[in-house]
Structure formats: structure tokens, C-alpha cells
């Protein structure tokens, strides 16, 4: 096995190392989210109060993507990735304290560090792919992005399950210590093996260049904001609490169901190049494909919203509807992830990618806050109708994405 790894090209080795870092970080990130939601719901926190715990996580994610892209272009993506790993270790250890210390401001501060860490890591991983795929090989680029994105989300689902299991097996504080230890080992391996020149711009960008000047990137970023707001407005806070409060599911069931959904979602993302026809027709997707799949996702969400509002077999509607939503959302997300790497500039790629994921983080922030507030005020059906509105905006914005297609190598 080791001899086979040694025979791989430098680019493939670096891709595997970036993916390994990203995978391990994603496991802790997914587990941490599920642990916080379930633990603080168990302590008697209301949905809006739980959403508030993630407020700084999402706010600092917005800032981090904007500034992190600039830092990645100047310092190299290896440094931003390793800083992200280190900050996540610190955030986990901050939460491994007695429960009496876990006030809302304290948890929000730890979540702020975790938000910075997560988006530094994600921006670095997505940007690094652009630098490792030879120019002109757009089909290869799409496949590598799809594999990284799909595997990440599948492992995030595993993280949800691990979070529920760790809460039962080790308790909240024990889970934090265990995850910090694993991630510290990953950081040490990354410091030793990850290349030092990944993503560093040939010309040092100015700080004023953090905002993208590309029309395609700006349009795609706006679509991404509403796409991820549409998911998180009902998935992040509302759905886990609804499953426990309405159906009486225990923590392990909730974590297991959410984990299964995200794993399936990640697997579909990995197969997105085949599902969107890149292997059959020899062309990579364009704005028309993004618009088409946004329409499919909108139609699915309308059906689920109507089913929940009419209380038509709620458990069947939630399970079946969530599977359909996940498949359509996975293809949308994978298409977007390819398009941003495709649109991004060659030199200082992390500037455009960072700006795009800033919009992604803004969408998650809006969706998370609305998930707690709308669910507490009006229930799950109302969250789904807000999701419908956001997806309609995604569909309209996608109309302006470029329609020309590039031949896959």
C-alpha cells in the first residue's frame, strides 16, 4: 500500500493529503454540531436559544471566507488549512469544561473559533484542487471537486451519528476531549507532509481585492446564498427538534437519521458528474444545468411543505421528502462547487473561492437563525415555506449564469 502511494504523482499525493485533512475535520465538525443541538436541548434550551449558540459560528464563517481567501493567496493554502485544524482543537478543548461553565456567551465564543476553523479548512481544500488539476482538464476538475465535496458530506453525516453516539457513550465533555485528540494528530501529520506552496499567488494581492470582480462569481455567490439558506432554514435546528418533540425519537435515533441523510446526500454528490451527463456527452455543466436543478429542488420542497402542512402521514412525508430533497440538493451543491472552481481565476484562486464561500456562510447564517425563530413561532411547515421562497430566488438568480459550455478534456 505504501509503495503504491509513493509511486503516485506529487499532485495526486497532495490531493489525497488535503482530502484526508478535510475528512477528519469534517467528522469533528458534524459531531460537534449534533452534540451541541442535542445536549443543549436536553438542558432545556428553546429552539431560538440553540440557534443563537451557532450565531457566531456562522457570522465568523462569513468573515473568515472573505479574509481567508486573501490570506490563502498571500501565505499559501497549507498554512490556512493548518491554522483551521489548530483552531478546531482549541474550540473543542474550550467546550471540554464542567457543564456549569457552559454559559451562552462562552459557548458562542467557542463556536466562533470553530466557525473560523471550519471555513479556513473548507476554503483551503476547495481552492487547492484548482491548483492541482492541469489547466484545461475541466472534466477531471469536476470529478475531483465532486469526490471531495461528496465524501466530505458523507463523512459529515457519519459525524452526526458519532455525535449522538458520543453523547450517549462518553458524555458531552468526554466527546470533546476525544475529538480534540484525534484532530491534534491530524494537524501534526499535516504540518509534516502538506506542501508549502499550494495556492500561493505569484503576485501578492492587495486587501482591497477580497471582493470578487467577476460577474459570474458574483451571480453564483448570490444563488449559493439562497440555496444554502433554503436547506438550513428547516434542516439545522427545526428538523432535529421536530423529530424528537413530535415523533418522540431518542437522541441516537435523531443522530442516526440525520447521519444517514447526509451520508446519502454525500454519495449522490460524488456521482453528480455522471448524473449531469459529463461522462456521456463530453461537456461540463453550465448555468442552464444549475437553473434546471434548482427548479427540481424547488418542486420537491413545495411537495414536502404541502404534505407537512396538511399533516399527511408526517413521518412518511418527512422521511421520503427528505430523501428526495437530499438527492436534488446534492446535485445542486455539486454543480455549484464545480462552477465556482471553474469560474475562479488561475492566480490567487482562493480570492474568488473565499468570496463565494462567504456567501455560502451568509446563507447558512440566515438559515440557522430563521430555523430557530420560525420553528418556535410557527412550526416546521412554515420553515419549509421559507425554504420554498429562498429556492425560488435561487432559480431566478441562476438565469443570469453563463450558458456557454466548455469541452471536457
Burial class of residue 267 (count of CB atoms within 10 Å of its CB; 0-12, 13-18, 19+): middle
Residue 404 included in any domain: no
Query: For residue 171, what are the contacts with CB-CB under 8 A and spacing of at least 6?
Result: none
pLDDT of residue 2: 46
Q: Work out the pLDDT band at 181, boundaries 50, 70, 90.
A: very high
Q: Are 13 and 68 in contact (CB under 8 A)?
A: no
Report the number of distinct structural domains present in the chain: 1
Chain centroid, CA 266 distance in Å: 11
CATH number for the domain that contains residue 193:
1.20.1250.20
400, HSE (Cβ side, Cα atoms, 13 Å) = 13
pLDDT of residue 214: 65
pLDDT of residue 226: 95
pLDDT of residue 406: 44
pLDDT of residue 405: 47
The pTM (predicted TM-score) of the whole model is 0.71
Other CB atoms within 10 Å distance of the CB of residue 188: 12
Distance CA 176, CA 93 (A): 6
Query: For residue 199, what are the contacts with CB-CB under 8 A and spacing of at least 6?
Result: 72, 73, 76, 77, 78, 124, 127, 128, 130, 131, 348, 349, 350
Residue 408 included in any domain: no
96, HSE (Cβ side, Cα atoms, 13 Å) = 15
Phi and psi of 284, rounded to 5°? -95, 155
Other CB atoms within 10 Å distance of the CB of residue 274: 12
Q: In this predicted model, what pLDDT tens digit does every residue of 194-242 receive, in sequence order?
A: 765 654 555 555 545 555 566 788 888 899 999 999 999 988 788 888 8
Distance CA 80, CA 71 (A): 7
Residue 168 included in any domain: yes
Residue 360 included in any domain: yes
Phi and psi of 104, rounded to 5°? -60, -50
Compare 131 and 403 and report the one with higher pLDDT.
Answer: 403
Distance CA 337, CA 145 (A): 7
Query: For residue 52, what are the contacts with CB-CB under 8 A and spacing of at least 6?
Result: 104, 108, 372
Distance CA 395, CA 331 (A): 14
Residue 406 included in any domain: no
Distance CA 233, CA 229 (A): 6
249, HSE (Cβ side, Cα atoms, 13 Å) = 19
Residue 369 included in any domain: yes
329, HSE (Cβ side, Cα atoms, 13 Å) = 27
Report the pLDDT averaged over residues 44-72.
75
The dihedral of CA 188, 189, 193, 199: what is its sign? Answer: negative
Distance CA 396, CA 388 (A): 13
DSSP state of 347: T
pLDDT of residue 365: 84
DSSP state of 236: T
Percent of the chain surpassing pLDDT 90: 17
Q: In this predicted model, what pLDDT tens digit does every residue of 313-354 receive, in sequence order?
A: 888 888 888 889 988 998 898 888 778 877 765 555 556 777
pLDDT of residue 408: 39
Residue 195 included in any domain: yes
Q: Write the CA distances from 102 to 50, 267, 285, integer angstroms.
A: 13, 36, 47
Q: Write the CA distances from 143 to 12, 56, 57, 104, 404, integer angstroms.
A: 13, 33, 30, 42, 19
Other CB atoms within 10 Å distance of the CB of residue 214: 16
Q: Are 159 and 178 in contact (CB under 8 A)?
A: no
Range of the domain at 95: 2-398
Which residue is associated with the grid cell 411547515?
A: 381
Would you say residue 158 has pLDDT above 70?
yes
Residue 403 included in any domain: no
Amino acid at each position: 500500500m505504501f509503495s503504491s502511494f509513493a509511486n503516485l504523482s506529487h499532485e495526486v499525493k497532495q490531493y489525497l493529503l488535503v482530502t484526508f485533512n478535510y475528512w477528519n475535520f469534517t467528522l469533528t465538525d458534524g459531531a460537534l454540531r449534533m452534540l451541541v443541538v442535542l445536549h443543549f436541548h436536553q438542558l432545556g434550551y428553546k429552539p431560538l436559544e440553540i440557534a443563537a449558540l451557532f450565531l457566531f459560528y456562522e457570522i465568523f464563517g462569513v468573515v473568515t471566507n472573505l479574509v481567508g481567501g486573501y490570506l490563502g493567496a498571500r501565505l499559501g493554502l497549507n498554512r490556512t488549512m493548518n491554522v483551521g485544524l489548530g483552531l478546531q482543537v482549541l474550540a473543542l478543548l474550550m467546550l471540554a469544561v464542567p457543564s456549569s461553565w457552559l454559559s451562552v456567551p462562552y459557548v458562542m465564543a467557542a463556536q466562533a473559533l470553530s466557525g473560523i476553523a471550519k471555513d479556513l479548512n473548507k476554503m483551503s481544500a476547495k481552492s487547492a484542487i484548482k491548483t492541482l488539476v492541469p489547466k484545461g482538464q475541466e472534466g477531471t476538475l469536476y470529478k475531483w471537486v465532486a469526490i471531495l465535496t461528496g465524501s466530505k458530506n458523507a463523512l459529515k453525516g457519519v459525524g452526526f451519528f458519532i455525535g449522538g453516539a458520543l453523547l450517549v457513550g462518553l458524555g458531552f465533555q468526554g466527546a470533546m476531549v476525544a475529538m480534540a485528540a484525534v484532530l491534534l494528530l491530524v494537524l501534526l501529520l499535516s504540518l509534516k507532509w502538506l506542501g508549502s506552496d499550494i495556492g500561493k499567488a505569484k503576485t501578492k494581492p492587495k486587501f482591497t481585492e477580497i471582493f470578487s470582480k467577476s460577474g459570474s462569481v458574483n451571480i453564483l455567490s448570490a444563488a449559493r446564498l439562497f440555496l444554502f439558506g433554503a436547506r438550513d432554514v428547516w434542516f439545522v435546528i427545526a428538523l432535529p427538534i421536530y423529530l424528537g418533540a413530535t415523533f418522540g425519537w431518542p437522541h441516537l435515533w435523531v443522530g442516526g437519521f440525520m447521519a444517514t441523510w447526509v451520508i446519502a446526500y454525500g454519495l449522490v454528490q460524488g456521482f453528480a458528474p455522471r448524473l449531469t451527463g459529463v461522462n456521456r456527452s463530453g461537456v461540463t455543466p453550465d448555468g442552464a444545468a444549475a437553473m434546471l436543478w434548482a427548479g427540481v429542488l424547488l418542486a420537491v420542497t413545495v411537495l414536502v411543505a404541502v404534505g407537512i402542512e396538511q399533516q399527511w402521514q408526517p413521518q412518511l412525508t418527512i422521511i421520503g421528502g427528505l430523501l428526495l430533497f437530499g438527492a436534488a440538493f446534492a446535485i445542486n451543491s455539486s454543480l455549484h462547487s464545480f462552477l465556482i472552481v471553474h469560474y475562479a481565476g488561475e492566480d490567487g484562486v482562493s480570492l474568488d473561492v473565499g468570496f463565494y464561500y462567504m456567501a455560502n456562510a451568509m446563507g447558512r447564517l440566515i438559515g440557522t437563525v430563521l430555523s430557530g425563530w420560525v420553528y418556535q413561532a410557527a412550526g416546521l411547515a412554515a420553515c419549509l415555506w421559507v425554504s420554498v421562497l429562498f429556492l425560488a430566488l435561487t432559480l431566478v438568480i441562476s438565469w443570469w449564469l453563463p450558458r456557454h459550455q466548455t469541452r471536457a478534456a
